[in-house]
Each structure stands twice: as structure tokens, then as C-alpha cells.
Amino acid sequence: MTIRSNYDKRPAVRISQSESECAAGWREILDGLRAHPSARRIAIECYPGVRIEPLQRELVLGLAPKLVIESGSAMLPAQTIEAKFAALLGDDPVFGLMEPRDLEEFFDPAKLAQARHMAKGTRGRVIAIGTGATLLLPDRDLLLYVDVARWEIQQRQRRNEISNLGLDNPGELPGQLYKRAFFLDWRVADRHKDGLYEQVDFWIDGNLPEKPAMVSGEVLRSALAAVSLQPFRVVPFFDPGPWGGQWMRSHFDLPEGPPNYAWCFDCVPEENSLVLRFGAREFELPALTLVHHQAQSLLGYRIVEQFGAEFPIRFDFLDTMDGGNLSLQVHPLRSYIKEKFGQSYTQDESYYMLDAGPDATVYLGLREGINKEDMVADLRAAQAGGAAFPAEKYVNVWPATKHEHFLIPAGTIHCSGSNSMVLEISATPYIFTFKLWDWGRMGLNGRPRPIHLEHGLKNIQWDRTTEWVRKNLINQEETVASGEGWREERTGLHPLEFIETRRHWFTGSVQHDTRGNLHVLNLVEGNAAIVESPMNAFLPFTVHYAETFIVPAAVGPYTIRPAGLAKRPLATVKAYVRGSK
């Protein structure tokens, strides 16, 4: 039975009914800022990827400054910046080092001192604008922060509208713009933004320059604190791929245009945005801001102790319905990712089959008795343009049906086959996937997708063969509790992985308790469910089929029940970091 969902593609958290807390449009924004006539030193700090031109035209001119200093004028020459970070970025088309660097490293100390001297010597209003504007005006009177969501930045990169930080390179391939932003620009900007969080007087939503919004720093900080005490969703985004399918297009009512929809990032706060609603007005910001600044409330003490202010659980969709196989791949072992890339944990993952066609399959683990040297030789030959790699000769191909759960600890060779709708539940170590074979196809840009065979071969666990996989990684289900109208099952993950998953089937109300630990859930069966607080600590929260939602650690007890009379059992899958339910 196919369930058509009311999947909400732009969820928002209602903060208040008052629109007065959120200025909309440049006129209201300017009116709000003009209420601070004594502000003579104004820093307009911008996240990399913010479009500066609309700010100069609509905001800076409206504030009538005597002097405007763009942060880029105080930066090092582009070639110096390139050389400075060459070792961090390396020459791999996808990977770099996860290494902390500071924004001030982009600036020329002499130019920075000169800009500060000019600002200090100017009578009248001075505005510094751009990424690092606060470095130019350390003695500012007013601080505005203009932010933009990661997904919007990626769209601007693909349209060749923006450059990387400190460079003039909008014509580079989008993949190279993204890589540099991912490993360098965003890291230094996030680090810098974290230090400004309590100082910001006004936040500006820069996602739609023609429709900006602004809230005060006090309002935003209060709103994020409120979000961390209730269930919520982040804004999903969808992207086509060479293997993409058609399930999400039909079930989620996605627009025509792209040839397919391969991915949905439904809960990856590193990439997703968060929408706050004030009356009918919306303010969008990176969900990562919530993670960084409400870490204890959102994640819980144990996760912060183990991972820092990082959201460690990732839910996303992989749609191959009427599509093709994913690339055959492997994820790095923890020791390898730490040594080679500076990342402290790796992408242990799993495939939960949200839906499956009659011929759906999952490639998982190696066949018994294969010859390792032959497999390596065949992979190398295929990579060199020789015969196609005979994947089925070496890799198990398992039939897959709806609601089955395949566990994939790092080091296990795997991929989803065609005609599957996968809810991928995994750890969140960014983008470290080693493709071994991509079935000889091109990416959507007409170019081969990068293969990382040498990395992959160093991480394949050759003893994870057919019987071990069958006993350890496929449908490791057991009933752990039950009551009137509900049943709880453990579905994974493998003991090598730090994430636990539980599935609840229910026709009545089910009691949950975060016990100080982050919960991430998806409604994998049923039209809609209601999440409620037994103590009325938050308003009832409705979740629809296939929607992923977050329950912060600080929530404590909560219940989930069907929305209306349940003729058939509903089901949720819940993930949390082991150590507490």
C-alpha cells in the first residue's frame, strides 16, 4: 500500500504571534537601525557566500555613512591566501583536512591596521562590511550579522555567482568552490561567528536579498533557547544525481525540472537551515547556529562531552526508484579518518528501507572465498578504462523489502541497488565516502565522478563476508518491550557503531524519554502522528509520513500517538547515541 504523505518541505518553528519582532524588507530594517542614531561605528559581518551588492545598495546607502570599508580590501593577496592554505586543501578534488584555522589568517596585518586607523580618524558614521568586518572595527557601536543557509550558498556556487573567501574565482567548477568552502571558508567563518554570538545586535536573513528579514540579537538568542526545548524539524533540501529516482517526486510533490531526485538531506544540521516564524513572517538561519549555541540543551551533556558542539546523527533519503545503483563504496575506519583527514569519528551508517520495489537489492559485504588480489586487479582495470568491474562476482547482493534494516559499520563495502527508497541513518562525519566503482557512468555534469580507490582499498574489511554479514548486519531485530497498543523493537546498529535505533509500532500512545540524550526520529509508517508533552512543556507537534524530526535532550518525557483513529499500526524509527535511551 502506497501512502501519500503531507510531507512539509518548509517546516518552521513558531516563536510568537507578533510580527513586530521580525522586520521584513529593507524599509523596515532601515527604520529599525535608524532607531540607533548614536551608532557611529557599524560592522556588517557577513558569512562567506552572502551577496554584498544588495547590502551596499539597500542597506549601506540608506545608513548614509561618511566612510565605507570593505573587508576584502584588508585581506592578503589571493595568491598568498592560496599558498597559505594549500596543504590543508591538498590536490584531491573532494577531500581536505578538518583543521581549525582562524579568520584573521586571511588578513594582511598592515592593511588591517590601516583600515582601523582610517575608521578611527573619520568623523561621522563608519561602516565596515564583509566577512571579517568586525576585525576592522573592534570598537564598533553596532554589530549586524548577515547569514545565509549552506544550501543557498551551494546554489549560488552552481550559478557561478560567488567566489571563495579572499579569492576572485566564481568561474571555478562548483565542486571546487564547495570543497574549499567546506574545508576552509565555512570552518573559519563558523569559528568567528561563535565568538560574536552574544555580541550581535541584529541578525539579517540574507537568503533572499530582495526579501530580507531582521531580528534583534536578543530575540534570536531567546528564540533558539525556545527551539531547544521542543520537538522541531529543519528545512530539507533535495538534489538530483546520476542514480536518482522518482519516489520523492511523486510522494513529496516535488517540482518538475530536475531529471530525478537522488538525495534529500532531511536532518543534517551541518547543512540544513532552520526557519523561525513570527506571526506570518519567517526568519531563516543555518541550523548549525542552534547546534553551536544551545549544545547542552539540544544534544545533552554526554554528547557534548564526546563530540563537542556537533550534531552526531544524520538522517537522509537515497531514492533509486526507477533509477540506478549508488556507487559501490566504503567508509573510512576511525583510525584512518583521524590520521588522514583530522576527523575524530567516521560515517558508520545503515540503510532502513522506507520503501522497496519487487526487485530491490542492497550490495553489502564480500562473497565467501573471493580472491582479494583478483578483486583489486579488476577494480584497478575498471578505473583505468578497462572492462566493467564485475561487482556481483565479489560483493553480496541481498534482496531488500520494505522496513528491513541493513547495518553498515565503517569498512564494509556496500551500496543501495536500484528501485529502493532508503532512509539512511548514520553518524555525521561530513563527506568522507570512498567510491570504488561507479558503474562506468558520468555525473550529471557530464564528467566522471571522483573515485577514491586507493583510500577505499586501505579500509575494506576483507573478513566481512557472506555469513558474517547475514548474522551481524541484516535485520538484527528483537522485541525489547511492549504494552497496550504498542511494541518496541531494537533494529540496530552494529556494536561497532555508536548509534542505537529503536522502532515502535503503535495504535495508541507510546511513552518516550530522552533522559538527557538527543533523539532523532522518522515516521516510517502511517499518515500522521502527534508528539506531546505529558507536562504540557511544549505545544502538540504534528509529524507526517516520512518526516524526520528532532527531540532535544532537554525535552525529557514525551509521547507519540496516531493523529486520529489508527486502523493500522503506525511506526517510528528512533536513533540516539548509545549510553541512554
The type of residue at 33 is L
Measure the CA–CA gap between 297 and 228, rounded to whole angstroms.
6
What is the pLDDT, as a whole number, of residue 441? 94
Q: Which pairing describes strands 313-319 and 361-366: parallel, antiparallel, or unpaired?
A: unpaired
What is the pLDDT, as a whole number, of residue 429? 65
Residue indicated by cell numbers 561605528: 41
Each domain of the chain, given as residue ranges in start order, spans 13-227, 239-250+313-472, 478-577
CA-based Rg of the chain, rounded to a whole angstrom?
Answer: 25
What is the pLDDT, as a whole number, of residue 2? 47
Measure the CA–CA gap between 110 and 116, rounded to whole angstroms.
10
Find the length of the chain: 581
What is the pLDDT, as a whole number, of residue 321? 98
Q: Taking the model in full, what pTM does it have?
A: 0.96
Beta bridge partners of 372: none
The SS3 of residue 217 is helix
Question: Which residue, 379, 357, 350, is CA-closest to 499?
Answer: 350
**CA distance readout (Å), 481 to 488, 508, 521, 558:** 5, 15, 18, 17
State which fold the 239-250+313-472 domain adopts: Jelly Rolls (2.60.120)
Beta bridge partners of 479: 489
Measure the CA–CA gap between 89 and 468, rounded to whole angstroms.
38
User: Positive or negative CA dihedral for 29, 30, 33, 35?
Assistant: negative
Greatest Cα-to-Cα distance within the chain, rounded to the nearest angstrom? 80
The type of residue at 556 is G
State the number of CA atoms in the 13 A half-sphere of 495 facing the CB.
Answer: 2
The type of residue at 181 is A
Q: Do domains 239-250+313-472 and 478-577 have the same CATH topology?
A: yes
Read off φ and ψ for residue 328, nearest 5 degrees: -75, 130
How many CB atoms neighbour CB 81 within 10 A?
19
The answer to whether 464 touches 370, Cβ cutoff 8 Å, is no
User: Positive or negative CA dihedral for 182, 420, 544, 501?
Assistant: negative
Residue 297 neighbours by CB under 8 Å, 6+ apart: 225, 228, 229, 552, 553, 554
The answer to whether 213 touches 283, Cβ cutoff 8 Å, is yes
Measure the CA–CA gap between 299 and 18, rounded to whole angstroms.
29
What is the pLDDT, as a whole number, of residue 566? 86
User: Positive or negative CA dihedral for 437, 440, 442, 448?
Assistant: positive
CATH 3.40.50 matches 13-227 = yes
The answer to whether 98 touches 183, Cβ cutoff 8 Å, is yes
CATH 2.60.120.10 matches 478-577 = yes
Q: In the structure grid, which three cell numbers stand for residue 373, read together?
A: 588480489
Measure the CA–CA gap between 260 and 324, rounded to whole angstroms.
11
Task: Give the H or E element holding residue 162.
Answer: none
Measure the CA–CA gap between 311 and 294, rounded to whole angstroms.
11
What is the pLDDT, as a whole number, of residue 493? 77
Per-residue confidence in pLDDT tens, the chain, 581 aa: 444 569 999 999 999 999 999 999 999 999 999 999 899 999 999 999 999 999 999 999 999 999 999 999 999 999 999 999 999 999 999 999 999 999 999 999 999 999 999 999 999 999 999 999 999 999 999 999 999 999 999 999 999 999 999 999 999 999 999 999 999 999 999 999 999 999 999 999 999 999 999 999 999 999 999 999 999 999 999 999 999 999 999 999 999 999 999 999 999 999 999 999 999 999 999 999 999 999 999 999 999 999 999 999 999 999 999 999 999 999 999 999 999 998 888 888 999 999 999 999 999 999 999 999 999 999 999 999 999 999 999 999 999 999 999 999 999 999 999 999 999 999 876 789 999 999 999 998 898 899 999 999 999 999 999 999 999 999 899 999 999 999 999 997 778 889 999 999 999 999 999 999 999 999 999 999 999 999 999 999 999 999 999 999 999 999 999 998 888 999 999 999 987 44
